[in-house]
Amino acid sequence: MRKICKVTLNKQAFHANCGDLLLDSAIMNGIDFPHDCRSGICGACRVRLVDGRVFGGTEAGSDMIHACQARIVSDLRLVTEPVPDTISMPAHVAELTRLAPDVIGVSLELPRPLPYLPGQYCKLQFRAFPERCYSPSYPLEGAPDNRFLHFQIRRFADGVVSSAIGERIRVGHRVRLTGPFGSAFFRPDHLGRIVLVASGTGFAPMWSIATAAILEQPRRDLIFVVAARKLQSFYMHAALCRLALFPNVVIIPVVSEPQQVSPAVRLGRPTDFLPALKSDDVVYSSGAPMMTNAVARIAREAGVVCYTDPFVPHAREAERAGLMDRWFGVREATRRSEELLRVA
CATH number for the domain that contains residue 39? 3.10.20.30
pLDDT for the residue numbered 332 = 38
Residue in 40, 18, 43 with CA at minimum distance from that of residue 340: 43
pLDDT for the residue numbered 67 = 92
Same domain as 211, residue 156: no
Q: 282 Cβ partners below 8 Å, 6+ apart?
A: 187, 190, 192, 193, 194, 195, 304, 305, 306, 307
Report how far residue 305's alpha carbon sits from residue 279's, in angstroms, rounded to the nearest whole number: 9
| Residue pLDDT, tens place only, 11-52 | 899 999 999 999 999 999 998 887 777 877 666 788 889 999
Residue 336 in any domain: the answer is yes
Residue 335 in any domain: the answer is yes
Report how far residue 137's alpha carbon sits from residue 118's, in angstroms, rounded to the nearest whole number: 8
Give the mean pLDDT of 218-223: 97
Same domain as 134, residue 112: yes
Same domain as 325, residue 199: yes
DSSP characters for 242-285? HHTTSTTEEEEEEESS--SS-TTSEES-GGGGPPPP-TT-EEEE
Same domain as 139, residue 59: no
pLDDT for the residue numbered 51 = 93
pLDDT for the residue numbered 60 = 61
Mean pLDDT of the chain: 87
**Boundary-marking domain end, from 123, 146, 181:** 181
| Residue pLDDT, tens place only, 100-111 | 999 999 999 999
- HSE-CB at 269 with a 13 A cutoff on CA atoms is 9
Q: How many residues does the chain have?
A: 344
Report how far residue 267's alpha carbon sits from residue 323's, in angstroms, rounded to the nearest whole number: 27
Same domain as 199, residue 337: yes
Residue 29 in any domain: the answer is yes
DSSP characters for 325-344? HHHHHHHHHTTS-S---EE-
Q: State the DSSP H helix or E strand holding residue 25, giving kind and residue range, or none if neither.
A: helix 22-28
pLDDT for the residue numbered 336 = 38
Report how far residue 47's alpha carbon sits from residue 76's, in angstroms, rounded to the nearest whole number: 11
Residue 187 in any domain: the answer is no
Give the mean pLDDT of 177-202: 93
Same domain as 137, residue 19: no
Residue 186 in any domain: the answer is no
**Boundary-marking domain end, from 115, 147, 181:** 181
Confidence of residue 75 (pLDDT cuts 50, 70, 90): very high
Q: State the DSSP H helix or E strand holding residue 235, giving kind and residue range, or none if neither.
A: none
Same domain as 260, residue 142: no
Q: 226 Cβ partners below 8 Å, 6+ apart?
A: 198, 199, 203, 206, 234, 236, 240, 251, 252, 253, 254, 270
**CA–centroid distance for 115 within its chain:** 16
Specify the 3-state DSSP secondary structure of 58.
strand
Report how far residue 165's alpha carbon sits from residue 93's, in angstroms, rounded to the nearest whole number: 10
**CA–centroid distance for 311 within its chain:** 8
- Identify whether the C-beta of residue 277 lies closer than 8 Å to the C-beta of residue 298: yes
CATH number for the domain that contains residue 163? 2.40.30.10
Rg of the chain in Å (alpha carbons): 20
Q: Which domain holds residue 154?
A: 87-181
pLDDT for the residue numbered 2 = 75
Residue 132 in any domain: the answer is yes
- Identify whether the C-beta of residue 35 lies closer than 8 Å to the C-beta of residue 183: no
Give the mean pLDDT of 170-174: 98
Same domain as 276, residue 137: no
Residue in 46, 39, 133, 123 with CA at minimum distance from that of residue 321: 39
**Boundary-marking domain end, from 55, 79, 103:** 79
| Residue pLDDT, tens place only, 240-261 | 999 999 999 999 999 988 888 8
Residue 177 in any domain: the answer is yes
Domain count for the chain: 3
CATH number for the domain that contains residue 280? 3.40.50.80
Beta pairing partners, 9: 12, 78
Same domain as 270, residue 139: no
pLDDT for the residue numbered 154 = 94
Same domain as 125, residue 68: no
End-to-end CA distance of the chain: 46
| Residue pLDDT, tens place only, 264-318 | 899 999 999 999 999 999 999 999 888 998 998 899 899 898 888 888 666 443 3
Handedness of CA 306, 186, 292, 56 (dihedral sign): positive
Confidence of residue 138 (pLDDT cuts 50, 70, 90): very high
Report how far residue 278's alpha carbon sits from residue 282's, in angstroms, rounded to the nearest whole number: 9
Residue 189 in any domain: the answer is no
Same domain as 207, residue 96: no
Same domain as 228, residue 92: no
Share of the chain above pLDDT 90, in %: 65
pTM over 0.85: no
pLDDT for the residue numbered 137 = 96
**CA–centroid distance for 46 within its chain:** 13
